[in-house]
Structures are given as C-alpha cells and as structure tokens.
Amino acid sequence: MQIGVSLSSSTSRPGGEAARHLVAMARLAADVGLASLTLGDHHAVGAPAGYFQNTPSLGRLLAEWSPTGRPAGCLFLLPQWPAVLAAEQIGTLACLHDGPFVVQTGLGRGAREFAAMGRPTEHRVSVFDESVRVVRALLAGETVSSDRFGFSDVSIGLVPTRPVEWWIGTGTEAGLRRAARFGGAWYGAPATTPDEFARLYDIYAEACETHATQPRVMLRLDGIVLADGARAAALADDAVARGYRGMSRGDVFAGSPRDVAAQLAPWAERGVDQIVARTMGIGDAEDLATIELLGEVARELA
C-alpha cells in the first residue's frame, strides 16, 4: 500500500507566509518519496479563513513535484465548474507535469458555495455525469457537443500526452456504481469506518466486475506522525477535542512511524491501494515532521 499526500489548502495566516509553507511541504513530500501530491477544491471561503485555489497552486507546486514523475493532481467539484473550463485547466496542468495527472472529483455540496459560483444545486448528478463525459472527451482530443450545456463542436488544443487518472469521491452506493462505470478509482472519505468501508467496497467491486473495470481504492486520512509518538497522540487528542474537522479520535492516525504503520496496515488488507494523508495543521514544524516521517511509514508498508 502506498502513501500519498493531500496538502491542506485552507489557511488562517497571511497569504505569503502560508504559501511558503505549502511549497515547503510539497518539496519535502517529493524528497521523501510519497506516492502522489494533490490539492482540494472549494470556493467563496470567507474571512478569517483563506483558501489556495487548486489550479494556480498546483502549477506552482509542480515545480517542486514534477521532476519525481509521480502522480499529481487536484480536486474538481465538477458541478461547480463549466466543463470546458475544467478541461482546459486540467489539460494545461497535465501538460506541465512530467507524470500521470489525477483528477479527483465529486458532486460537491453546500448551497452557499454553489450559489457563489453561479451554479444550481439541483440536478447535480446529471450535471456531474455530463461534465465527466465532456471533460474526458475533450482531454482525449475529441470535438464535443452538449445539448445540456448549450454548446457544439468544441475542442481544446492542449491535451495531455499521458492518460489522466480519475478518482471519484463518494460514500454512497449510487456514487460507487458511477465510479465503477466511469472506470475511476474510489476516493474514500476520512471518517469511513472499517465496517462501512467493507460494505461499500463490496458494492464498488461488484459494480467494477459488471462494467469490466479495475477496482482501485484511495482513502484520505488525516493525522500526525512524530518521532515522539506519545506527543503526536496527545496533540491529536487535543485537536479532536477542539473539534478538528468534526472528526472523532478514531478517524485520525497519530504516533511514531512504527505506530502509524501499524494503524494503517489493516487498510491494505481491506483493499486500499493508497492512503492519501493530510497533516492536521497543528504547527509548521509538526506538518513538516509528519510529511518527512510518512516516508518512513510508506517504507514500512511497502
């Protein structure tokens, strides 16, 4: 089982300072050999929080990551995006990267965020399906028409030279069947319990067999890894007690590299191909230590 990293795009700090930390984390993740680098996608995130938008941020971070040749990408909540714009952004980033490009996607949620982007929340599923069809076709160099989106005979000139990977974020039966139909990996949510995971995995694997696609599972988890495992556990306890992302203590990993490898190993047995880890943002030093030591965790799990 591999270990990748999803860098948190949220910050409550001045932009320049936060940007330098984001770049430092990406550089270190490349140096220690993590398997993938990805960013999230949210909009209209108001003060006091800030949010690094996915496409310009990844363009900068590829300068640190691209020489590794390992997968990189970001989340596109496609019902919030014009499909042609999304395809152009993805195509550009994929051409800038010297490795496989990953499109993480999902339906998105939150009426306020949709409204800020000028997009309705109604019919998200059908909009999502059509968006995936359009984006995939454009990235393959095809000329595309869409009655749903009101355009005809559209193409983009800049297309990836390597296949694009699709990771579909979902926790529903319908979403898993959709992921299987598209041939996409299942991108699992952090708070998925082992029992719920087992139930959903069976649905996904059966749907993959029906559609003759290959099941692949990426699971996003948050945590902290320090040489002092007891301190890591205490910091995680405190963060969760203060309401960290609405998670329970069992949803996050924490400890020394050996502790964390033991905590994550059962996921490999359940069928997870890659843990996509996110640091908990407790402090710059703790973020960087976590990324560095995730390299050791990955070697233990290989």
**17 CB-contact burial (10 Å; exposed 0-12 / middle 13-18 / buried 19+):** exposed
Q: What is the pLDDT of residue 277?
A: 98
What is the full DSSP assignment across the chain? -EEEEEE--EESS-HHHHHHHHHHHHHHHHHTT-S-EEE-------TT-EE--HHHHHHHHHHHHGGG---EEEEE-GGGS-HHHHHHHHHHHHHH-SS-EEEEE-----HHHHHHTT--STTHHHHHHHHHHHHHHHHTT--EEETTTTEEEE--S---SSPEEEEEE--SHHHHHHHHHHTPEEEE-TT--HHHHHHHHHHHHHHHHHHT----EEEEEEEEE-SSHHHHHHHHHHHHHTTGGG--GGGEEEESHHHHHHHHHHHHHTT-SEEEEEE--S-HHHHHHHHHHHHHHHHHH-
Structure-block tokens of residue 169: 């974020």
Per-residue pLDDT of the chain in tens (302 residues, 90 and over written 9): 999 999 999 888 888 999 999 999 999 999 999 999 999 998 878 777 789 999 999 999 999 999 999 999 999 999 999 999 999 999 999 999 999 999 999 998 888 888 888 888 888 999 999 999 999 999 999 999 999 999 999 999 999 999 899 999 999 999 999 999 999 999 999 989 999 999 999 999 999 999 999 999 999 999 999 999 999 999 999 999 999 999 999 999 999 999 999 999 999 999 999 999 999 999 999 999 999 999 999 999 98
Domain ranges of the chain: 1-40+216-302
Output the average pLDDT for the chain: 95
What residues contact residue 67 under an 8 Å CB cut-off, 6+ apart?
A: 30, 98
Over residues 204-226, the pLDDT tens digits come to 999 999 999 999 999 999 999 99
CA gap 257, 41 in Å, rounded: 29
Give, in order, the Cα–Cα distances in Å from 273 to each of 3, 124, 127. 9, 28, 29
What is the β-pairing status of strands 144-146 and 151-154? antiparallel
Q: What is the pLDDT of residue 118?
A: 85
| pTM attached to this predicted model | 0.95
Q: What is the pLDDT of residue 44?
A: 79
What is the β-pairing status of strands 50-51 and 10-11? antiparallel
Over residues 225-271, the pLDDT tens digits come to 999 999 999 999 999 999 999 999 999 999 999 999 999 999 999 99
